[in-house]
Amino acid sequence: MIYNIAVIPGDGIGPEIVREAMKILDKIGEVYGHQFNYTEVLMGGISIDKTGVPLTDEALEQAKNSDSVLLGAVGGDVGNSNWYQLPPNLRPEAGLLALRKGLELFANLRPAVLYPELKGACPLKDEIVGEGFDFVVVRELTGGLYFGPRKTESQNGLRIATDTLIYDENEIRRIAKWAFEIAMKRSKKVCSVDKANVLDSSRLWRQVTKEVSKDYPEVELTDMLVDNCAMQIVKDPRQFDVILTENMFGDILSDEASMITGSIGMLPSASLGNTKLGLYEPSHGSAPDIAGQNKANPIATILSAAMMLRYSFDLEEEANQVEAAVQTVLNKGYRTIDIMSHQGRLVGTDEMGDLIAAEIRRR
């Protein structure tokens, strides 16, 4: 099969980590007989330098016309970059928001995986994490409190700020379907997280999610209040498979989950919509302080490429191969500096990519 991928290296360490992800995809292509064609697309600070804007209409069209999009990172040092002297709509991160909107991506997937080899980097007790955990937060990305009407005004000399939390049933239904589809590829459990004891929007969320669940009789659905979920993530993360939740709750819970996995350099993510076209990127930023030094951890980007294989291209075996290769390399003790321990062997960005690529073979 032939797949056309829009590649956005971006800023800082972006080009380095994207290069390693492409190395892995090429090895998958070699082993499984696929062809991955890459088109480089400008976005972020580098686009500002070359075009004056963080995302051009031409770049957006290139992304739209691809089968999927692989992104490194955008942005720079807020305190020392001229990019952040610009108006907010012209700063690097505005390009990412425009890309997500232009591609109509409403579902954000952020896996939280603790590999047994990285247990020492997890802040939780050994008896809590056991041999590790593996769950994914499915977050609605374009609705809710972040996108509802808002205003700040003065009434009788008193400043009042208003943010509006709005969801309609169609927005809830489409993200719920994503969660159930993902659960079907995993352990077939969905935990829907809300605040139904207080919020009308959460009560509608719970109702619609239960309606969607009828189309997935194989998947076990449970409901959990968000405050309890926040506690359960640190009390017993192994109980979760797929966590489904709205925009603000997902923002907070996925950040909490990232802190118990050992390093944000291990966390991939995907933004998806109604088509197979998706945006795949690591959860971390551009880390300009280590850019060009061969220190960056490429694993989050490599695992993001594995998510691309699974969710955009339906290549489940190939995605499993990439994830197994990562675990094998970690099991052999190889570490980039962010996950280094006294027992590991320190390697750079490019060597980590080479080691993972070498483990990819038909079993």
User: Would residue 255 show up in a list of annotated catalytic residues for this protein?
Assistant: yes
- In angstroms, the CA 67 to CA 284 distance is 24
Q: Which of 32, 38, 84, 146 is catalytic?
A: 146
pLDDT at 274 over 80: yes
In a domain, 175, yes or no: yes
Same domain, 175 and 268: no
Residue 78: per-residue pLDDT: 82
Q: Which of 67, 195, 241, 311 is catalytic?
A: 195
Q: Which of 168, 215, 255, 289 is catalytic?
A: 255
Higher pLDDT, 294 or 363: 294
**Residue at which a domain ends, from 231, 260, 289:** 260
User: Would residue 146 show up in a list of annotated catalytic residues for this protein?
Assistant: yes
Q: Which two tokens stand for residue 152?
A: 């700040």
Same domain, 281 and 170: no
In terms of Cα–Cα distance, which of 259, 255, 263 is closest to 352?
A: 263
Q: 312 exposed, middle or buried (CB, 10 Å; 0-12, 13-18, 19+)? A: buried
Query: Which range, of 68-72, 128-132, 166-170, 356-360, averages the lowest pLDDT?
Result: 128-132
- In angstroms, the CA 159 to CA 176 distance is 38
**Structural domain harbouring 141:** 123-260
In terms of Cα–Cα distance, which of 72, 96, 76 is closest to 85?
A: 76
Angle of helix 349-358 versus helix 316-331 axis, rounded to 10: 120
**Residue at which a domain ends, from 260, 291, 320:** 260
Same domain, 255 and 137: yes
CB 188 within 8 Å of CB 220: yes
In a domain, 298, yes or no: yes
Total domains in the fold of the chain: 2
* Span 334-354, pLDDT tens digits: 999 988 876 789 999 999 999
Over residues 142-167, the mean pLDDT reads: 93
Q: Which two tokens stand for residue 215?
A: 């189309």
Over residues 356-362, the mean pLDDT reads: 93
Same domain, 157 and 216: yes
Residue 57: per-residue pLDDT: 97
For 333-346, give the secondary structure using H, E and C. CEECHHHCCCCCEE
Same domain, 219 and 307: no
Percent of the chain with pLDDT over 70: 99
Q: How many helices (H) and strands (E) does the chain have?
A: 12, 14
In a domain, 277, yes or no: yes
* Span 14-60, pLDDT tens digits: 999 999 999 999 999 999 999 999 999 999 999 999 999 999 999 99
* Span 219-257, pLDDT tens digits: 999 999 999 999 999 999 999 999 999 999 998 999 899
User: Would residue 195 show up in a list of annotated catalytic residues for this protein?
Assistant: yes
In a domain, 118, yes or no: no
Same domain, 237 and 271: no
User: Would residue 194 show up in a list of annotated catalytic residues for this protein?
Assistant: no
Same domain, 90 and 149: no
Q: Which two tokens stand for residue 323?
A: 């994830």
Q: What is the overall mean pLDDT for the chain?
A: 94
Partner residues linked to 79 by β-bridges: none
Same domain, 276 and 313: yes
Same domain, 101 and 152: no
Same domain, 131 and 234: yes
Q: Which of 227, 289, 314, 332 is catalytic?
A: 227
- In angstroms, the CA 268 to CA 109 distance is 9
Residues 167-171: contacts with CB under 8 Å, at least 24 apart: 167/140, 167/143, 167/201, 167/204, 167/205, 167/246, 169/204, 169/208, 171/106, 171/140, 171/142, 171/143
Residue 191, SS3? Answer: strand
Same domain, 256 and 136: yes
In a domain, 114, yes or no: no
pLDDT at 363 over 70: no
- In angstroms, the CA 13 to CA 284 distance is 10
Q: Which of 167, 251, 311, 338 is catalytic?
A: 251
In a domain, 113, yes or no: no
User: Would residue 3 show up in a list of annotated catalytic residues for this protein?
Assistant: no
Same domain, 135 and 254: yes
In a domain, 356, yes or no: yes
Over residues 71-76, the mean pLDDT reads: 95
Residue 227: per-residue pLDDT: 98
- In angstroms, the CA 48 to CA 144 distance is 30
DSSP state of 360: -
In a domain, 110, yes or no: no
Q: What is the CATH number of the domain that holds 87?
A: 3.40.718.10
**Residue at which a domain ends, from 260, 275, 294:** 260
pTM, 2 dp: 0.86
